[in-house]
Amino acid sequence: MLTRIFDYESASDAAPYRRFWTVRHDAPGRRAGFRACEDTMVQTSQETAATLSRVDGDAALRKIAARLVPFLIICYFAAYLDRVNLGFAAASMNASLGFSPTVFGWGAGVFFLGYALCETPSNLILHRTGARRWIARIMISWGLASGLMAFVWNETSFYALRFILGATEAGFFPGVILYITYWFPRLKRAQIFSWFLIAIPLSTVVGAPLSGMTLTLTDGLLGLHGWQWLFILETLPSILLGVASWFYLTDCPAQAHWLSAEEKDWLQDVLEKEQRDAPESETHVFWPALKDPRNLLLGFSYFGVVLALYGVNLWLPQIVAGFGFEPVAAGFVTALPYLIGTAAMIFWGWRSDRTAERYGHTMSAALLTALGLVWAGLATNAIVSIIAVTVAVCGTLATIPAFWALTTQRISGARAAASIAIINSIGHIAGFIGPYAVGWLKDSTGGFSSALFALSLGPILCAALTAATALRDRG
């Protein structure tokens, strides 16, 4: 399917991606990483260019997508599997350790405090050292930390390990968002983000049934509970993928031995032109990025998306179990909204790129999320509730690719590294607030309806602040 994501409606659509330039490579001896790839660009003479074969930009982008995107999907799948496993482990883990819904919600949310605090420095380090090294470090350390979750024994150890896990994983998602900007022009990014983000629903579609079966089949094995085996078994894929990242990923186009010289020159020229045109690409970046009103608007807009994303994701298994489903059946029922949401996300990202429109796609998908959450809160039976949650999940997943395409269209270089991390950090504060708020409201009211109503405010905030960003960008 990746071979078709760069189809154009007409030759004129492809024209901006079929120009050919060459590069003078003067990087030997410079530090590894993307900065070593910021080569000096020089236009060839008209006579020299005429002797060189024309580069098929579509084919080059398809080749890059086929090389990088599947591997990045698998890596993010391994990362997101922890959220799925935690949701399924909750019922038996809470019973085993005596945790209340509030304690579980607090622990689930503490992960995002460590994540948010470490995210910006992590992304700046990735920009300096290169994705290959830093993504490998992230994946190996979070794999080890996730395995230790099997051995929590009280509230304090639960909170501490969740915080450590968040700190070790910090930088992976914004790092990949940044990494994609090194390889794909702006007008193609929503589609690439959609494919990368397929790991979110995929981790539930595949992980939810597996988690349910693991809980049932491993309970009591070697004297351990099923929830402990969930965390132990999720460790190995992350560590192996971290090692593979070191050898498989390429930091930037200039180092891509799997591209022809002409393809590398063409791609670097297109990206260099975009970087020159970007209004925000200075070198000293952290404080300017932190004080940038656009970044703050987008950060709190993303806060609204994340509030719904994790508020639903971490509690959906328990909502489904509340209708009387056994663990294995609950796994399959939980997977259904995400299976349908996958198609919605891919379609909406494709449509955003095809129309070259970001603001309206982000706002409309966010409002659909809010509608689904309110509907779910009003639902009184299992079927209607699952349909409503499916609507909410479709809206949430469809919002994210258009949002990140909007976010990255005006930034590049080190400024992009800082801005992406700051926006994602602000957004993921909601990853702490959302699960905790759901747990507290569940304790206070005895049900999930009020929590779903509260979560619906997040996507409404997202739509409102995205509209404010549009007015600012266009004004």
| Distance between CA atoms of residues 428 and 224, nearest Å | 32
The answer to whether position 333 is within a domain reads: yes
CA distance 160 to 351: 42
Taking alpha carbons only, the member of 16, 473, 377, 412 closest to residue 183 is: 412
The residue among 3, 2, 49 whose CA lies nearest residue 22 is 49
306 located within any domain: yes
Within a domain: 7: no
Residue 73 lies in a domain: yes
Number of structural domains in the chain: 1
Q: Are 400 and 346 in contact (CB under 8 A)?
A: no
Tell me, what CATH number does 328's domain have?
1.20.1250.20
Which residues does the chain have with pLDDT short of 50?
Answer: 1-53, 281, 283
The pLDDT of residue 279: 53
pTM: 0.77
How many angstroms separate the Cα of 268 from the Cα of each of 79, 91, 151?
Answer: 30, 51, 48
Residue 112: its pLDDT value, please?
A: 85
In this structure, is residue 60 part of a structural domain?
A: no
Residue 160 lies in a domain: yes
pLDDT of res. 278: 58
User: Would residue 358 count as lying in a domain?
Assistant: yes
- Tell me which residue of 238, 216, 392, 381 sits closest to 315, measured CA to CA: 392
Give the pLDDT of residue 25.
Answer: 37
Q: Is residue 31 part of a domain?
A: no
Tell me the residue range of the domain where 463 lies: 67-474
